[in-house]
Amino acid sequence: MSDKLSAVEKIKTASDGLRGTLNQSLEDNYTGNLRPDDQVLVKFHGMYVQDDRDRRAERAEKKLDKLYSFMIRLRIPGGAITAEQWTALHEISEQYGTGTLKITTRQTVQLHGLLKHQLRPTIQAFNTAKLDSIAACGDVNRNVIVSSHPQLSPLHEQVYVYADKISQLLLPKTQAYYEVFIDGEKIYERSVEADPLYQDRYLPRKFKIGIAIPPSNDVDVYTNDIGLIAIIENNELKGFNIVAGGGMATTHGNPNTYSRLGSVLGFTDNEEDTLKAVYEILTIQRDFGNREDRKFSRLKYTIDKLTVEGFKQELENRIGFTLQHARPYTFTERSDRYGWLQGHDGKWYYTLFVEHGVIKPHQKTFLAELALLGISNFIFTANQNLMLGEINPEDKDAVAALLSKHQIETATSGLRKNSMACVALPTCPLALAEAQRYLPELVTKLEPLLERHNLLDDDIVIRMTGCPNGCGRPYVAEIGFIGTAPGQYNLMVGGDRFGERLNKLYKEKLDEAQILYEADLLFERFAAERNIGETFGDYTHRTYFAN
């Protein structure tokens, strides 16, 4: 094997179908961690090793090892689960981990703070509830997301099916997940595991797929490795525009890394061609992606190396047909629609605001009581909120009564409703600064500035991440904060409201006082100089970057 391959590549090919020595690591009671190679492999099974960074110094002073724990992320294509599954999720989270449920930006949920000996019983409990964490992390296709507002389109269910079909199509064939975490023994013949897609190398890096249903771009379709844009004409699904090469992550101090919006390649008008195109885009990335330097391993770099036209030609060679010309479409919104809305089928939907995806105790109690009634399903949105769906008209009053009982409200400022943050400290090992613990506090300090300039109800999209990897998609926000050091952020402005334009660096390495000063100046100028109907992102782009 080439010495130029990254260490992770060598771990994957030597892993025996992602098994490694996970069994031995899990049974080692002398440490709360896994063996180094197994720390890589466990990601493919939807888990990360983490530690409490708030307690590192304290434990080091006492000559103690880091306080290791695990995060489990579920695979929920399209983000929808049943009431019974919510009850199971609630009970599992109460028994294992910190008790907190975190909704991610990719329509699923994470549990944090699990100890090593809790991993197997937790995964087994999820399996009983027909939930799993297979391929939720790692160098494979991850959770497939889809526009999450079925009340906006009668074709949502038809499009939603694609999320599950794509997820199934792109799942790894290895049975290691069941063998290591559920059954405890080999129960499958290895011939079943032949994997023509991933082989023994898997992909060079993570891979993300999103499906948008215009006019909503709630999934930020251009930020995905593959984006499918549903083309609907005369209330019929005609097919999908195929977008490829989106990605957010950059590296501070490395100008060769960059965020990129996906390129529209063409259109497919039937399920077979759509799935074939998706599959073969992965094979191109498998074969051409950078396996030497993981900073350049995402599909966006592969496409720019081949050129968009060169990539499209390679794709058409593999699929055996020519993509049709892309069809017209328009995005006019990206936010969730909070509160009650009635769908085309007469059923009701209630979207609950969950700040940065962290379900608060009173919300969790409300949701547990609601699930026991069995009158709603639960849909995670790509904006880290939760929709209660498919509520029959006769059951709406019962849901409303529970909302009132637990004082569940959606009223808040436009900025807060459109805020998003990654987990960051204390559990993310990559975080340079706070995000989900700090952004609510910062928004509270920004709201009086907005009110002063009569902007409090403007739906300005604001996002914060603790590092430049971009998990909260900050580079397509109207206001983006990228952590550079504790208490310090780069300020990005100029992204458009609907996720179709990247923002740009406005000011570097600002502390809170500087952030508030700069924000006040920007809000003041925006209020005084904006054109009629102009959004904050369009104003800052026009004023500071258009020329």
The active-site residue out of 206, 276, 291, 300 is: 206
422 catalytic, yes or no?
yes
Q: What is the CA radius of gyration of the chain?
A: 23
Q: Is 116 a catalytic residue?
A: no
Going by C-alpha positions, the residue among 251, 211, 213, 216 that lies closest to residue 228 is 211
Find the range with the poorest average confidence among 146-150, 202-206, 264-268, 487-491: 146-150
Round the average pLDDT of the chain to a whole number and report it.
96
Q: One of 75, 116, 260, 471 is an active-site residue; which one?
A: 471
Confirm whether 142 is a catalytic residue. yes
Q: Which residues contact 546 (CB under 8 A, 6 or more apart)?
A: none
pLDDT of residue 149: 80
Three-state secondary-structure class, residue 132: strand
- pLDDT tens digits for range 70-107: 999 999 999 999 999 999 999 999 999 999 999 999 99
- Tell me the pLDDT band of 186, cut-offs 50, 70 and 90: low
* Between 92 and 151, the higher pLDDT residue: 92
pLDDT of 2 over the 60 cut: no
137 in active site: no
Write the burial class of residue 514 (CB in 10 Å: 0-12 exposed, 13-18 middle, 19+ buried): middle
Q: Which of 205, 422, 497, 501 is catalytic?
A: 422
pLDDT of residue 197: 99
Q: Is 62 a catalytic residue?
A: no
Average pLDDT value for residue range 261-284: 99
The one catalytic residue in 75, 276, 417, 467 is 467
Confidence of residue 1 (pLDDT cuts 50, 70, 90): very low
Residue 275 has pLDDT above 70, yes or no: yes
Q: Dump pLDDT digits (tens) for 487-523.
A: 999 999 999 999 999 999 999 999 999 999 999 999 9
Residue 188 has pLDDT above 60, yes or no: no
Model pLDDT for residues 441-470, shown as the tens digit of each residue: 999 999 999 999 999 999 999 999 999 999
Rounded average pLDDT over 346-373: 97
Q: What does the pLDDT look like over 291-302, one tens digit per residue? A: 999 999 999 999
> What is the pLDDT, as a whole number, of residue 218?
98
pLDDT tens-digit map of 34-75: 999 999 999 999 999 999 999 999 999 999 999 999 999 999
The reported pLDDT for the residue numbered 191 is 57
Cis peptide before 215 (omega within 30 of 0): yes
The residue written with tokens 């060769």 in the block is 256
| Catalytic annotation, pick one of 12, 43, 73, 300 | 73
**Token digits of residue 7:** 């260490």
Return the pLDDT at 183: 85
- Residues 43, 208, 337, 497: which is the catalytic one? 208
- Report the C-alpha gap between 106 and 528 in whole angstroms: 37
Over residues 205-221, the mean pLDDT reads: 98
Neighbouring residues of 183: CB distance < 8 A, sequence distance ≥ 6: none
Residue 185's pLDDT is what? 62
DSSP state of 545: I
Q: Which domains does the chain have, with CATH numbers?
A: 339-411 (3.90.480.10), 415-545 (3.30.413.10)
Min mean pLDDT across 81-95, 334-348, 370-384, 524-538 is at 334-348
Q: Would strands 109-114 and 145-146 be described as parallel, antiparallel, or unpaired?
A: unpaired
The answer to whether residue 341 scores a pLDDT higher than 60 is yes
* Distance set, CA 168 to CA 107, 162, 171, 299, 365 (Å): 17, 10, 5, 21, 33
> Which residue in 43, 102, 106, 142 is the catalytic one?
142
Please state the pTM of the whole predicted model: 0.97
Which entry of 43, 102, 276, 428 is annotated as an active-site residue? 428
Q: Report which of 417, 367, 420, 23 is spatially closest to residue 184, judged by C-alpha positions.
A: 23
Cα three-residue angle 186-188-191, rounded to 5 degrees:
125
189 SS3 class: coil
Average pLDDT over residues 151-171: 91
* Residue 387: closest CA among 367, 362, 373, 361: 367
Among candidate residues 78, 77, 123, 79, the one with its CA nearest the CA of residue 97: 123
Confirm whether 73 is a catalytic residue. Answer: yes
Confidence of residue 187 (pLDDT cuts 50, 70, 90): low
Mean pLDDT of 316-343: 97
A 10 A CB-CB count for 447 gives 17
